[in-house]
Amino acid sequence: MGRITLDQVQKKFGDVEVIPPLDLTIEDGEFVVFVGPSGCGKSTLLRLIAGLEDVSGGEIRIDGKPATDLPPAKRGLAMVFQSYALYPHMTVRKNITFPLKMAGMSEEEKKRRVDHAAEVLNLTDYLDRRPGQLSGGQRQRVAIGRAIVREPAAFLFDEPLSNLDAALRVGMRLEISELHERLATTMIYVTHDQVEAMTMADKIVVLRKGHIEQVGSPLELYRTPRNLFVAGFIGSPT
């Protein structure tokens, strides 16, 4: 569960077409990276999928079901925000449980999910701490934990590591890749960092001015970039 299809999805802000009609299929379990220069529409495309922006045209399907008109909470997807979105006065356990507050779920089920997320993320010993008592990497894991407890069909990341220092970023990349292997859930990951794209993705979507320049595995894009923009951006020697 976690196949997402975009059929002629378009976005305009006023008269400005930020995303011209675009087709894209994301397979269940894939790790897909949207990459491209600042302002090319990566966040907008992710927000359209999440339902945080309304499309100006086209259809979005999640596991075959029309999702274009569903509010974010009904899409079964979880957006991972940067760690500064944590509540400083709440414990780690409360922060991770927070998205389940309205879910009408039993306390046992909530606890099971939080304990599972904490175990997957190596946060079991930190559940009673507050975000201010954690390292940057641990705080980012708490932010991911908030998504895991929802057991989403797909995780959506928008440059989650851009506030971390370089050394920590490398470690977190590995952690997110391992999390993907462990959960086998679809992940869509937005970055402007070519190295992140090349090291993390099953499939890279290269965006430029809102349209897709090329879609392919890191190896395909490296070996057979379709044009100089892709070659230059991916850093292949063409």
Q: Judged by CB, which is closer to ligand ADP: 13, or 87?
A: 13
According to DSSP, residue 80 is labeled E
Among ligand ADP, Mg ion, none, the one that 38 touches (CB under a kind-dependent 5 to 8 A) is ligand ADP
Least distance to ligand ADP from the beta carbon of 232, Å? 17
Burial per residue of 53-83, b for 16 or more beta-carbon CB atoms within 10 angstroms, e otherwise: bebeebebebeeeebbeeeeeebbbbbbbbb
Q: Judged by CB, which is closer to ligand ADP: 11, or 203?
A: 11
* CA proximity to 80, closest of 190, 158, 194, 177: 158
Considering only 6, 18, 35, 179, the residue that binds ligand ADP (CB under 6 A) is 18
Least distance to ligand ADP from the beta carbon of 74, Å? 22
10 contributes a contact to Mg ion by CB under 5 A:
no
43 contributes a contact to Mg ion by CB under 5 A:
yes
Q: CA 64, CA 58: separation in Å to the nearest integer?
A: 15
Residue 151: HSE in the Cβ half-sphere, 13 Å Cα cutoff: 9
141 contributes a contact to ligand ADP by CB under 6 A:
no
Residue 6 and residue 22 in contact, taking contact as beta carbons nearer than 8 Å: yes
Q: CA 131, CA 137: separation in Å to the nearest integer?
A: 11
Least distance to ligand ADP from the beta carbon of 196, Å? 14
Place of tokens 């890279």: 204
Least distance to Mg ion from the beta carbon of 219, Å? 26
Q: Which residues here bind Mg ion, judged by CB under 5 A? A: 43
Q: Which residues here bind ligand ADP, judged by CB under 6 A? A: 13, 18, 36, 38-44
